[in-house]
Amino acid sequence: MSPVLIYLIFINCVTFFIFGLDKWLARNNKNRISERTLLSFAFVGGIIGGILGMLVFRHKTQKTSFKLAIGAILILQIIALYFKVIPFDYF
């Protein structure tokens, strides 16, 4: 298995977990994980984990600005793949 694929699996699992953790923290009135941190994990390759975390935990789904930011990250990553900023050979 390629190192890039291993990284993507890892970062998506971590991102999914962080979204779930933030939802748990919100329900229990604890200190939250910042939106900047959540979006940063999505930006560095965890977009699938972030989207799944939003859907599974129903987290940040009512916040339009957050949904727009996640959508922008997804589009940027699709464009990067299309223009081979991240070559497909690594997968």
Please spell the DSSP secondary structure of 30-91, one letter per residue: -PPPPHHHHHHHIIIIIHHHHHHHHHHHT-S-S-HHHHHHHHHHHHHHHHHHHTTSS-GGG-
pLDDT at 87: 61
Separation of first and last alpha carbons in the chain: 8
pLDDT above 60 (res 90): no
pTM, two decimal places: 0.88
pLDDT above 90 (res 83): no
Q: Identify whether the C-beta of residue 18 lies closer than 8 Å to the C-beta of residue 41.
A: yes
* Number of domains making up the chain: 1
How many whole angstroms separate alpha carbon 90 and alpha carbon 21?
31
pLDDT at 1: 80
Write out the residue range of the structural domain in which residue 23 sits.
Answer: 3-90
pLDDT at 91: 53
Distance of CA 84 to the CA centre of its chain: 21
pLDDT tens, position by position, 30-75: 999 999 999 999 999 999 999 999 999 999 999 999 999 999 999 9
